[in-house]
Amino acid sequence: MALCGLGSSPSLERIEIKRCFSGKFSKITSKSSISIKRRSFLVHCSSSENKVVSSVDSKENVVSVEEESGHVMRFKMSDFKVLDRVSVGLAGRGDELVFEATVKDSSSSLYNTRVVLRRFTSAQAQRRGRRAIEVLKKLVHRRLLYHSYSMQVHGYVSSHTSSGRGSFTLVHGCHGSFSLRHWLQQADWLPTLEATLVLDEESVRKVGDDSVGGPAISRQLRLIRILMRDLLIGVNYLHSHGLAHTELRLENVHISPVDRHIKVGILGNAADFYEDGPSNNSVDNNIVRRQMMIAFDMRCVGFMMAKMVLRELMDPLIFMKFKSFFTKGNDPSCLREFLLQVLSRNSPSGNVGFQILDRNWGAGWNLLSLLLATKPSKRISCLDALRHPFLCGPRWRVVQSMDIIRWGLGSTAVRITEEYIYGLPQRDRLAHFIELLEMLNPHSKPKNWLEFLPGKWRLLYSTGRHIGLTLRQPPARVLIGDVHLTISRPTKLNTNLSLTSDIGFTVMMGQDWPHDKTGITGSLQVNSSFRLKAGRRLYLKEENTTEKLSLPQSNVRDILAQKLSGRNWRKAAPPFKEVPSSLPVAKLVSNDVDVTMNLGNPLNRNVDDARNVLLEVRTQIPPEMFDLSKFVCGTYVDSRLLVLRGVNGSALMFTRSCVNESCR
């Protein structure tokens, strides 16, 4: 097959046609009288050495993206020496052919430079290539930033085949052999990436860190901060110029060992925020379009961050479950609760990702929930993400918002409950965190509670008494499993709620129960209905109490004031000039209670055995979960945590659970 190339000068006064026959080139040069008007030329090359047919379309054409300029060069295939290998990180789509080559034209400024030739074989693919050149021309006034955060597009090769169809090849920079996905899949990815980025004390100061090295978790967190900040700066650069990337994936992102920046691709699918320019009459449509496109990019950044931190998500099957969590309507704030069930604690990474996201009061989970928020309007922007505590090192003093403070208090309380060490110091800390959450409750009106309450909640902790099996000889050895509280709203016409308490347990029959936890499974279900109304929780003053209700030395309000003046409480900076005498709560007014218990064989055949099991379950669980009418008010609620108070003053803390169990 003959290799044909078409080269022309900007004024199109000379047309140069090269034909190759059996390794020999023949050159035909012709003059044209055209001096001002630009015209398009179609050249047909036959296999015969004596026949060349050319046709000229005399229609005047507008300036196309193939126009040679100071920023985009037009090459010929003869300018390159194609290499016999292609890096694995350059894998293209089905309608792309990818080659690595070096520029052999000694007169070119790219002489001996390694480049990538990306040939687009379909019409849709060619539009992507031409779009990449259009984006370069749009961003050319900020060329330094463009080259720092995007693959550098050098130019293109455009020609016509013997069948009359056009061929378009994009020439862009080569930034190493691996994409970011391939880097993270290497066994020694952490030291290799650290060496590629040449991490030293000067470079880590750019992310607010103060040292290099250290434990593997600290090194990994530091590296993720560097990669995420560089990625967000690049994406923000596009957003600030009215462009959305639309194809942010680990496979499309490369790390340049030269300037140590993340390259976000060739921008062939970059989309404009404004279809007809920002001056279009439909301003509202443009605002909505811009918001949706930015939200789509931020969601993609969230998926990339999740894969960088949680290596298990590199598995396509696990990542499919991860994505189904969001498509089935679950709240991103309970992502940690979901992943605890999906990811095995004995995974190869040793749950390093969980430890990273749990640091700094769970700041990583907060950033992930904001990047992957269900509503596009709720997703965080690039600039706000760059100011987030998770991406700021210890040297930077970040002014935390009240939402971050609430999130941190709740995350720390959840971590303490997972330790299952309920000594006096832990119980005091949990009680303090719960009381402070109640004072910082963002939703005090019943209408807000009606929005957040419906869902499935898992019991984490109760400030009431805790009774186990160790120091007792009960008639039945019962191991309590998960305890859930499901709240539903039958109709939106009133404030009625339906509460269902589900208690799973195992009855251990053998004598070796301290080591063998197998046994007969059972469940206890309690149903009740409630009516929600506004109320207040009073802190009784000494002069307003009777002798029977007064405390010996100080009242509850004085104890709370002492706590708030302590060092640990002052860090949260609650917005109170003085301790309030009362706090708004959601009052719960209960109706009848219905109790149902299911037991497996053979316990379900003996009434006495069933009675002993029921008594033991009631002994171990908080009384409010068995008799729902003992709930009197709700004192804290958000998208992730719930605190309810019982009639005896004890607080029960819940975390939102995954509603769709099938997504696990």
For position 404, what pLDDT does the model report? 92
What is the C-alpha to C-alpha distance for residues 619 and 594, in angstroms, rounded to an integer? 19
Q: Mean pLDDT over residues 566-583, rounded?
A: 57
* Out of 108-117, 364-373, 596-605, least confident range: 596-605
Question: Which has more pLDDT, 31 or 382?
Answer: 382
For position 418, what pLDDT does the model report? 85
User: Which single residue is written with the structure tokens 């080559």?
Assistant: 101
- The answer to whether 517 and 479 are in contact (CB under 8 A) is yes
- The answer to whether 368 and 332 are in contact (CB under 8 A) is yes
Determine the distance from the C-alpha atom of residue 62 to the mean position of all C-alpha atoms in its chain, rounded to a whole number: 44
> How would you class 612 by CB atoms within 10 Å of its CB: exposed for 0-12, middle for 13-18, buried for 19 or more?
middle
Q: Mean pLDDT over residues 643-653, rounded?
A: 93
- The answer to whether 207 and 391 are in contact (CB under 8 A) is yes
Q: How many CA atoms lie within 13 A of 209 on its CB side?
A: 22
User: What percent of the chain is modeled with pLDDT above 70?
Assistant: 77
Q: Mean pLDDT over residues 565-569, rounded?
A: 54
* Out of 59-68, 111-120, 474-483, least confident range: 59-68
Model confidence at 25, in pLDDT bands (50, 70, 90)?
Answer: very low
Determine the distance from the C-alpha atom of residue 225 to the mean position of all C-alpha atoms in its chain, rounded to a whole number: 14
Tell whether the model's pLDDT for residue 571 goes beyond 60: no
For position 310, what pLDDT does the model report? 93
Tell whether the model's pLDDT for residue 61 goes beyond 50: no
What is the C-alpha to C-alpha distance for residues 4 and 159, in angstroms, rounded to an integer? 8
Tell whether the model's pLDDT for residue 574 goes beyond 60: no
For position 3, what pLDDT does the model report? 37
Q: How many CA atoms lie within 13 A of 608 on its CB side?
A: 1
Tell whether the model's pLDDT for residue 643 goes beyond 90: yes
User: Helices marked H in 212-267 — which ranges?
Assistant: 216-240
Name the strand (E) or helix (H) holding 335.
Answer: helix 335-342
What is the C-alpha to C-alpha distance for residues 279 and 206, in angstroms, rounded to an integer? 38
Kindly report the average pLDDT of the chain as a whole number.
Answer: 78
Domain architecture of the chain: domains with CATH = 69-174 (3.30.200.20), 443-538+578-656 (no CATH)
> How would you class 220 by CB atoms within 10 Å of its CB: exposed for 0-12, middle for 13-18, buried for 19 or more?
buried
Question: Which has more pLDDT, 554 or 411?
Answer: 411
Tell whether the model's pLDDT for residue 18 goes beyond 50: no
Helix (H, G, I), strand (E, B) or coil at 141: helix
Q: Strand 153-160 relative to strand 254-255: parallel, antiparallel, unpaired?
A: unpaired
Angle of CA points 133, 138, 142, to nearest 5°: 110
- The answer to whether 178 and 250 are in contact (CB under 8 A) is no
Six-digit token pair at 385? 């993400």
For position 318, what pLDDT does the model report? 92
* Model pTM score: 0.80
Determine the distance from the C-alpha atom of residue 160 to the mean position of all C-alpha atoms in its chain, rounded to a whole number: 44
